[in-house]
């Protein structure tokens, strides 16, 4: 009887999950659409209307292993940011020393003024320099800023728009490097040297490229999602020059913002978009990244409960509250050995009365939604790899992809 109930329940649930299950043919269609959007983003006259921005980074080569010296790094792209001190030794071709400190960014600061945010960053950098006994030295700074920016030069970068829950006033349309320097200047207790501004995808590609010279793609699957790759200069129509290559920050999170992914958006994706602070923007990212996956799962669970396929139709206050089903729960529920037990603990914490069948259905929902995320990333990554292969006239491309981000690191599959 129990196994019959399980299979009937799973069959009915499967109908709700069907729209998340993308066939190989559908993924190939998605890849073809992205391929077209890459060309639009790179075009001299089409880029300003393109949903996939294909931003030049002014990074012209991957590392060759001869780099050396002391550097500071700032990494801002989510609810925390990191400050690092890195010492690179050329002879040994390795990083000899790396100290870092994580600083939290309070929710109200993510929605406050740009001046407050940059003053906070400058203060955290000051504390770090004191702790590392580096006050008084003027070190070059690498600034990883993981939001869509129009890079004018390596040290001049204009924020196009905030994403991932940030909405600080007075920053969009401004040079982010200048805002950081002004905040440091306001403090007046330390100084920094030259600044190299990079997107987190570029930072990932470069740091992996330091160990593996064949790394020419960087990908992030974390709070948001994005990728970069080495494009032939002759195809980068917005920048003068025909020779060599330049790293392109695709900003693929915006794929679908012109409606091209309507056919794969589910009713749950549309609700997530509507409830976000950037409605209609970053369509692709909202199907993939850590900021949204937990919320998609929550909405599916609410619907299944309303239709009496879960928890005997009895919901809880927590399950009805946006944001309460965290993306990290998905990783815990999908663990190979303790997944079901984790699911049951999480459901209890959310005030739900569950039976074994409920925990299995919840696991199936998590698996379906994270699998869609992975497949969409795979389709987009294949698009980049094929582009590089065709650019170089190769039948077969051998390359390395540098990947980072909390979803990639923490999810068991």
Catalytic residue among 75, 200, 273, 404: 200
**36 catalytic, yes or no?**
no
**260 catalytic, yes or no?**
no
**40 catalytic, yes or no?**
no
Catalytic residue among 146, 276, 331, 370: 146
Residues 228/173, Cβ–Cβ less than 8 Å: no
β-pairing, 149-153 vs 156-159, is: antiparallel
Catalytic residue among 33, 36, 40, 82: 82
CA angle 233, 236, 238 (to 5 degrees): 130
Name the residues annotated as catalytic: 82, 146, 200
């Amino acid at each position: 009887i129990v196994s019959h109930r399980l299979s009937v329940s799973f069959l009915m649930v499967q109908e709700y999950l069907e729209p998340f299950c993308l066939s190989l043919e559908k993924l190939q269609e998605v890849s073809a659409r992205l391929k077209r959007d890459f060309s639009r983003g790179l075009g001299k006259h089409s880029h300003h209307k393109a949903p996939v921005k294909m931003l030049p980074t002014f990074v012209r080569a991957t590392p060759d292993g001869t780099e050396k010296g002391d550097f500071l790094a700032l990494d801002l792209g989510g609810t925390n940011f990191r400050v690092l001190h890195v010492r690179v030794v050329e002879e040994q071709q390795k990083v000899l020393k790396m100290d870092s400190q994580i600083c939290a960014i309070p929710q109200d600061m993510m929605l406050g003024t740009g001046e407050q945010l940059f003053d906070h960053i400058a203060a955290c950098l000051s504390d770090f320099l004191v702790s590392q006994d580096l006050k008084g030295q003027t070190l070059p700074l690498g600034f990883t800023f993981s939001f869509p920016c129009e890079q004018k030069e390596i040290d001049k970068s204009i924020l196009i728009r905030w994403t991932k829950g940030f909405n600080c006033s007075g920053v969009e349309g401004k040079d982010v490097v200048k805002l950081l320097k002004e905040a440091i200047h306001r403090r007046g207790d330390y100084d920094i040297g030259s600044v190299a501004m990079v997107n987190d995808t570029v930072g990932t590609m470069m740091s992996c490229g330091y160990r593996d010279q064949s790394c020419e793609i960087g990908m992030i699957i974390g709070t948001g999602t994005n990728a970069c790759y080495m494009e032939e200069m002759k195809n980068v129509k917005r920048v003068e020059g025909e020779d060599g290559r330049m790293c392109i920050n695709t900003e693929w999170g915006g794929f679908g913002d012109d409606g091209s992914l309507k056919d794969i958006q589910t009713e749950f994706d549309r609700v997530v978009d509507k409830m976000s602070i950037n409605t209609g923007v970053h369509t692709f990212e909202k199907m993939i990244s850590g900021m949204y996956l937990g919320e998609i799962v929550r909405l599916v669970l609410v619907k299944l409960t309303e239709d009496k396929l879960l928890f005997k139709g009895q919901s809880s206050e927590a399950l009805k509250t946006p944001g309460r089903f965290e993306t990290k729960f998905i990783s815990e529920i999908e663990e190979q050995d303790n997944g079901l037990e984790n699911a049951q603990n999480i459901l209890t914490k959310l005030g739900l009365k569950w039976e074994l069948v409920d925990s299995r259905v919840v696991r199936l929902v998590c698996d379906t939604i994270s699998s869609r995320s992975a497949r969409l990333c795979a389709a987009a990554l294949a698009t980049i790899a094929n582009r590089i292969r065709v650019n170089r006239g190769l039948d077969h491309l051998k390359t390395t992809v540098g990947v980072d981000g909390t979803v990639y690191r923490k999810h068991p599959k």
